[in-house]
């Protein structure tokens, strides 16, 4: 659940008193909570309690001009990874089933493109009523997930089904809803390199490149989501490494090579780093000074180890080795030649010429080149590219073709 965001809609029921505990538990798992309070929910718990525990403001009206200007309700429902309704009253269930949008909560539920999990809570007769059961069937048909209700004594003195599931049970349901059902890379170890390398000239200067590490980071996260154990060998990237992977931070190409070697054996390796091709021989251990002659220093450069070529020929070579080919012209021809030269199985070829905006941008357009030919993927976000690649790696390692 680390790094995930839950949009938590709190309806009006006595079990709303359990919501502060639910927020605590969700946050303890590393997820963030955006609380939304309905007007009737505010009769049972206060905006102050929710916002203090969530560490974020509570959203409670559709008509707040400030909040609508800063973050519209559509955005609010889309920024989340999962929408949770707890307690989900009979009224809220009816609204969702009918697609009503007459307050903030129902509007968010109609506008979201994320999975929705509801924790119903109501009097047993309301729960058993054919109207509620009809609504429940509609919600399930629409793909809405449910947790509870439990049987037990009710606040109204009756006994039966209708008590909201306990916060621990709701958290378990949230975890399941967030985790892709299939984790086909469980038990597999994958090495991912990412980011640029820095090649020192002296203690304060270095040679680098414009790689942000965004694509490699997204690939590591996607592999992790499919259950892989990921060794993430990263140069000094500008994006933060993902949670839930083993991060091995390096600076130079030579360090990256050593780290990859130490991380073997692995089932697969994805070399997404923009490794510097050369380093300065005998980098100075003191800051270099101008000598007054007006002549710039002449650097002797030496080639760095080619990590992709090396791992492709290593004794304990992973079953699948994937490289990237960042090219500015004749992309497919260069990438095809590069795959053969380096000996990897697949090459993800991409055009990094400045007009594409790919280097440092959020999108990528790749062509997957393998021994069966070149397959052009549509331009999409780097996360989506990562997801597709992770699925392909899983299928390959499991002996399937997709």
Q: Which residues bind ligand CTP (CB under 6 A)?
A: 193, 253, 271, 273, 275, 277, 304, 306-308, 323-326
Q: Which is nearer to ligand CTP, 77 or 197 (CB)?
A: 197
Is residue 156 flagged as an active site residue? yes
CA–CA separation, 368 vs 349, rounded Å?
Answer: 6
278 SS3 class: strand
The tokens for 366 are 């790749």
Q: How many CA atoms lie within 13 A of 7 on its CB side?
A: 26
Cβ contact 229:377 at 8 Å: no
Q: Which is nearer to ligand CTP, 122 or 308 (CB)?
A: 308
Catalytic residue from among 156, 182, 337, 395: 156
Cβ contact 9:108 at 8 Å: yes
Q: Which is nearer to ligand CTP, 230 or 275 (CB)?
A: 275
Q: Which is nearer to ligand CTP, 258 or 306 (CB)?
A: 306
CA–CA separation, 134 vs 147, rounded Å?
Answer: 17
Q: Which is nearer to ligand CTP, 219 or 253 (CB)?
A: 253
Q: How distant, in Å, are the alpha carbons of 273, 292, 349 from that of 208?
A: 12, 27, 21
The tokens for 401 are 């073709």
Cα of 164 vs its chain's centroid, Å: 30
- Name residue 246's beta-bridge partners: 231
Q: Quick count: other Cβ atoms within 10 Å of Cβ 83?
A: 27
Q: Which is nearer to ligand CTP, 56 or 258 (CB)?
A: 258
User: What stretches of 77-131 adopt beta strand conformation (E)?
Assistant: 82-88, 115-120
As a whole number of Å, the end-to-end CA separation of the chain is: 29
CA–CA separation, 26 vs 51, rounded Å?
Answer: 14
Selection from 49, 227, 22 nearest residue 117 by Cα:
22
Cβ contact 318:263 at 8 Å: no
Q: Quick count: other Cβ atoms within 10 Å of Cβ 373?
A: 9
Cα of 155 vs its chain's centroid, Å: 40
Q: Which residues are catalytic?
A: 156
């Amino acid at each position: 659940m680390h790094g995930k965001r839950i949009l938590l809609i709190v309806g009006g029921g006595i079990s709303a008193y359990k919501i502060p505990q639910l927020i605590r538990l969700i946050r303890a798992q590393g997820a963030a909570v955006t609380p939304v309070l309905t007007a009737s929910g505010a009769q049972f718990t206060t905006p102050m309690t929710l916002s203090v525990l969530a560490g974020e403001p509570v959203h409670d009206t559709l008509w707040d001009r400030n909040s609508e200007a800063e973050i519209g309700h559509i955005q609010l429902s889309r920024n989340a990874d999962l929408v949770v309704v707890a307690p989900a009253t009979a009224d809220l269930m009816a609204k969702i089933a009918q697609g009503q949008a007459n307050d903030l909560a129902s509007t968010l539920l109609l506008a979201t493109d994320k999975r929705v999990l509801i924790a119903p809570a109501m009097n047993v007769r309301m729960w058993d009523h054919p109207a509620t059961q009809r609504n429940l069937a509609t919600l399930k048909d629409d793909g809405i997930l449910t947790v509870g209700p439990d049987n037990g004594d009710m606040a109204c003195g009756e006994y039966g089904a209708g008590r909201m599931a306990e916060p621990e049970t709701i958290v378990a349901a949230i975890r399941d809803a967030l985790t892709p059902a299939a984790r086909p890379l469980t038990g597999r170890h994958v090495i991912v390199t990412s980011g640029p390398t820095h090649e020192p000239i002296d203690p304060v200067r270095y040679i680098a490149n414009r790689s942000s590490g965004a694509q490699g980071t997204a690939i590591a996260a996607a592999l992790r989501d499919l259950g892989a154990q990921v060794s993430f060998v990263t140069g000094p990237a500008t994006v933060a490494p993902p949670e839930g992977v083993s991060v091995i931070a390096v600076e130079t190409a030579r360090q990256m090579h050593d780290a990859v070697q130490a991380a073997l054996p692995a089932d697969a390796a994805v070399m997404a780093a923009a490794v510097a091709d050369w380093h300065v021989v005998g980098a100075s251990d003191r800051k270099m000074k101008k000598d007054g002659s007006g002549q710039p220093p002449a650097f002797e450069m030496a080639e760095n180890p080619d990590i992709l070529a090396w791992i492709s020929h290593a004794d304990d070579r992973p079953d699948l080795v994937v490289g990237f080919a960042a090219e500015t012209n004749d992309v497919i021809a260069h990438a095809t030649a590069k795959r053969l030269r380096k000996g990897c199985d697949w090459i993800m070829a991409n055009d990094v010429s400045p007009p594409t905006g790919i280097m440092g941008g959020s999108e990528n357009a790749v062509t997957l080149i393998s021994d069966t030919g070149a397959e052009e993927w549509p331009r999409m976000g780097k996360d989506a590219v990562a997801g597709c690649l992770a699925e392909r790696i899983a299928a390959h390692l499991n002996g399937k073709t997709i």
